[in-house]
Amino acid sequence: MTTTAVSRTGAIAIQRERRPLPIRKAGSYVLLAVVAVLVAFPLLLALSYSFMSESEIATFPPPVLPMHPSLDNYQKVLGAIPIGRYLLN
């Protein structure tokens, strides 16, 4: 019986030149960013309105950011609805 040494060759790492981002891929990222802004804007606007008074929201055109932010609306909601009781149930 003879033994022969078997040499294993590992995978050779080939360094590829980094290609610039294709136009199609960049276009899809731009489209995704536009859709994300269109989806997020109404949510952020509603959050901003929650810090405004009713008179501030009623002005035309309504401001995007509150001039005098307050937590009065949250206080009204938490006072009117027994959320703690609902959470315990």
10-residue averages of pLDDT along the chain (89 residues): 65 69 82 96 94 89 88 88 83
Total domain count for the chain?
1
Q: What was the pLDDT predicted at 45? A: 93
| 3-class secondary-structure state, position 82 | coil
Q: What was the pLDDT predicted at 42? A: 94
Asked if the structure places residue 44 within a domain, the reply is: yes
Asked if the structure places residue 1 within a domain, the reply is: no
89, two tokens: 């149930």
Tokens 């859709």, residue located: 35
Asked if the structure places residue 9 within a domain, the reply is: no
Asked if the structure places residue 83 within a domain, the reply is: yes
Asked if the structure places residue 70 within a domain, the reply is: yes
Q: What was the pLDDT predicted at 1? A: 62
Q: What was the pLDDT predicted at 22? A: 77
Judge whether 66 and 50 are in contact, CB under 8 Å.
no
- Domain range for 41 is 23-88
